[in-house]
Copies of this chain bind each other. A is one copy, B any other.
């Protein structure tokens, strides 16, 4: 790469004030994973008893760290999280498994955690063995310097081709006591021969047992990280984890096990908002993105059908290039609805760009206004709405446009 890429035009204009989470401390450092003197390790320390939940790539060829996290999550306890950039430790065979084990061992020694309570994530080049001995000595120093407020440093340490660090936070009440949620994410940028990976780590001082935490996370991810797409491709390393230290219990917050589930309404709302915020930031930093696109499908046979149709629209290269060209090409929306394979009636479809209804009852809207539509298509954010008028299913997904810059970023290595 010829130096850092310019910050995405869709980046948020400011960062939120990120509050400390009781029981969580961050440290970042340079372990020389791929380049010398580049920040490439994030260590997160969590207090004893921290509960853990996770959602991972659906890839049938997951990376070694993903296999590790899935296995260790069965216990649901976390004390340390180590994330490195520079090397994804993916497609590295048995050596990859060994280096994950060695990294966990080093992290346990440095932090005093049990190996079962160490979680690992890696992003960067694939197919190259990760030399975990590079963590040796580095992690001890990080433990000594860990501090609660270092959110932006943490978010920056896990960036690869992201053009801005991604953080989000929200407050919630559980049993009348305020708890805090904060999280970081990195997005789906990739440069040869690196592979994109979506990583996100979210922390709270709420006292919620691991099985409940897992349910909350699995549900919340459907409307956030599982409702975004850059280019329909899926990394072998995608990892989203949620950690609950339980420190708010000392301030009187109830511990939520299977019984107190009904007290979680406000926490759910806050968790949804943090995950959605982070997920949308990932889209806003999509490679070559110039438009942030919201696709809303209504009136489908079911919510599941609506989501499949919405993703068919959001993943269509023809829809995405049309948006890049600021062209309200509703014919391509019809095409994408049709190819989704879900029930649709051609002659009931309505399609909107922003507030402008461009197609109605299977025909171009008689009141279609070219100038008004053109205005809508010039915006940074494009809202597409499709009403199928056959049922009550609905879903919203987010994506970005497909530009020549996307092709350049991913294809211009030899030219």
A residues engaging B (CB < 8 A)?
57-62, 90-95, 126-128, 190, 192-193, 195-196, 231-236, 315-318, 321-327, 329-332, 334-344, 346-347, 349, 359, 361-364, 377, 401-404, 406-408, 410-415
B324 touches A407 (CB 8 A): yes
Complex Cα–Cα for A230 and B60 (A): 25
What are 18 pairs between A and B in contact, CB < 8 Å? Answer: A58-B341, A60-B337, A60-B338, A90-B334, A92-B362, A95-B363, A127-B364, A193-B327, A233-B317, A236-B338, A321-B406, A321-B407, A324-B411, A326-B415, A327-B413, A377-B414, A402-B407, A404-B408
Complex Cα–Cα for A234 and B329 (A): 15
Residue of B nearest to A315 (CB): B232
A322 touches B192 (CB 8 A): yes
A369 to chain B, nearest CB (A): 15
A60 touches B344 (CB 8 A): yes
Residue of B nearest to A409 (CB): B321
Residues of B within 8 A of A339 (CB): 58-60, 233-234
A338 touches B59 (CB 8 A): yes
Known: A59-B335, A334-B126, A343-B60. A411 touches B325 (CB 8 A): yes
Residues of B within 8 A of A127 (CB): 330-331, 359, 363-364
Known: A318-B233, A321-B406, A406-B321. A331 touches B126 (CB 8 A): yes
A251 to chain B, nearest CB (A): 44
Query: Copies of this chain, how many?
Result: 2
Residues of B within 8 A of A94 (CB): 347
Complex Cα–Cα for A344 and B321 (A): 33
A238 to chain B, nearest CB (A): 10
Complex Cα–Cα for A291 and B414 (A): 15
A363 touches B91 (CB 8 A): yes
Residues of B within 8 A of A128 (CB): 364
Residues of B within 8 A of A61 (CB): 334-335, 337-338, 344, 346, 349
Complex Cα–Cα for A231 and B402 (A): 12
